[in-house]
Structures are given as C-alpha cells and as structure tokens.
Amino acid sequence: MTNRTSPTPPNRTSTVPVDPAIENYLRGLLGRTDTPILQDMESLAVQRSFPIVGRLVGVFLESLARSIGAESVFEFGSGYGYSAYWFARAVGSEGRIVCTDGDPLNRFQAEHFLKVAGLWERIDFHTGFAQDIFTRTHEPFDICYNDVDKGDYPEVWRLAKDRIRSGGLYIADNVLWHGRVAMDEYTDVVPGWTEAILEHNALIFGDPDFDAYINPIRDGVLVARKKTG
Ligand SMILES: C[S@@+](CC[C@H](N)C(=O)[O-])C[C@H]1O[C@@H](n2cnc3c(N)ncnc32)[C@H](O)[C@@H]1O
C-alpha cells in the first residue's frame, strides 16, 4: 500500500506546488490566447530570466477581473506589463490600470508591448516605489494586485485593504513561495521573505472583512474578496 502522506523532507530549497505535467496540460488548453505580442513578452521573460506570472495566472487574472466587472486596478510591481496585459483586456476601453515599477527600463518595454497590443491607453504607468505611488492616489480600486519584493507583502496588504471597494479583490502572487511556506526547513532567496509571506497570508485569512483562498497554480495566487454589507 502506498503511503500518501509523506512528510516534508528537510533542507529542500524549493518545490513546485502543482505537478509540472499538470501545469503543462493546463497550459496546453490555452492555445486560443496565443498572440504574437504575448509570445514576444514571454520570450523576453526567458531572455531576461524575468519572473512574469505566465499564461495560466494571466488568464486567471483576466477572468477574476471580468467576473467582478473591474474597471480600475492598481498593480504593485508591474515589471514590463505582462500581468497588466491581462487586466487591461478585462477592464475595457474605459478602464484604467495604474502600473508601478522601480525600473525605468520596464516602463519603456511595457509601453512598447502594450502599444502594439492596443492596450496602452488603458495604462497609467509610474516609475518609482509602488507604496509611495499608491499613497499619492486617493480613489478606491476594484482590484489591488501585489507582486513587489516579498519582504514588503505585509506592508502592501495593510496599505491596500482599506482602498478596495466592497466586492473588490486583493490579489497577490507567489504566496506559496515555491513551497517554502509549508516547509519546516528551507533556504530563502532573501532572508526574511518567507516569514513576510507567512505573515501576509495569516493577516489576510484572519481578516473578517475579506473572504480569501489560494489557487496553487505556478507559485500560488491569493485572492481575497472584500465582503459587501
Ligand atoms: C515579479 S516582478 C513583476 C511581474 C509582473 N507583475 C508580471 O507578472 O508581469 C516584480 C517587479 O516589481 C518591481 N518591484 C519590486 N518591488 C517594488 C516596489 N516596492 N515598488 C516598485 N516596484 C517594485 C521589480 O522591479 C520587478 O520589476
């Protein structure tokens, strides 16, 4: 008889939450979303070893945004616009995505890609520290999306949670942090990042104003919906 509950082996540095064969199968179902510009963005991620969310999460983000009729999104950590591509498709021609990134090269590349995709008019891209840019905005957002340096995750949640409209979503990528959140022993990429993600996740699941769940695809996507009424 097979033992189906094997304990976590110690001293692993990381793991993938979902079996790669399953992810490949899921990815194979998404051929209809292929476009030359999306494939160029994905090729650049390989060339630059840049951590975009990838196709499975991208489709998930678009679907979440469409499901709540989102028209305004604030992205903490936009890179060169890959995740924004999916949100921008969802919000429609009157919608707005506020993008933020510390690296001016990313803004430059995002402008190129999203102009070709016909989505740049929906984008308001700021170069700088995302948390500072956010505190200079005042309106509530339909979605706040967190993909900054992982040590800042609790801070971003605390900033964002009161600025999400009722029925709106807080979404955070990498909340399983390559499995480290579930390991007794691990080697972190940056000391303290796993602890920060653990704190972040616990804060959200303990918040009575939100219903939260984690989709384990890729590196774990947390979705927290602000309750209505
Ligand atoms: C994981 S990448 C974002 C990927 C993007 N969301 C996507 O899927 O296409 C994180 C990006 O956030 C930027 N970044 C990290 N912390 C930041 C912060 N506090 N403020 C602004 N940008 C930040 C990094 O420069 C990097 O480009």
Instruction: Give mean pLDDT in consecutive 10-residue pieces for the chain, a chain of 229 residues.
Output: 41 78 96 96 98 98 98 98 98 98 98 98 98 97 98 98 98 97 92 97 98 97 95
Cβ atoms of 73 and 143 closer than 8 Å: yes
Cα 24 to Cα 31, 45, 137, 177, 217: the distances in Å are: 12, 18, 39, 20, 11
The predicted pLDDT at position 12 comes to 61
Out of 44, 134, 148, mutate this one to test ligand 1's pocket (max ligand atoms within 8 Å of CB): namely 148
The predicted pLDDT at position 9 comes to 45
Angle at CA of residue 30, ends 24 and 32, nearest 5°: 150
The predicted pLDDT at position 61 comes to 98
What's the CATH fold of domain 54-226?
Answer: Rossmann fold (3.40.50)
Name residues contacting ligand 1 (CB within 6 A): 51-53, 77-79, 82-83, 100-103, 106, 129-131, 147-149, 152
Owner of token pair 């008019």: 121
Question: Cα(102) to centroid of ligand 1, in Å?
Answer: 7
Q: Report the candidate in 181, 187, 45, 41 with the shortest Cα–Cα distance to residue 116.
A: 41
Please identify, by atom number, the ligand 1 atom nearest to the C-alpha of residue 51.
Answer: 1
Please identify, by atom number, the ligand 1 atom nearest to the C-alpha of residue 79.
Answer: 27
Question: Cα(228) to centroid of ligand 1, in Å?
Answer: 30
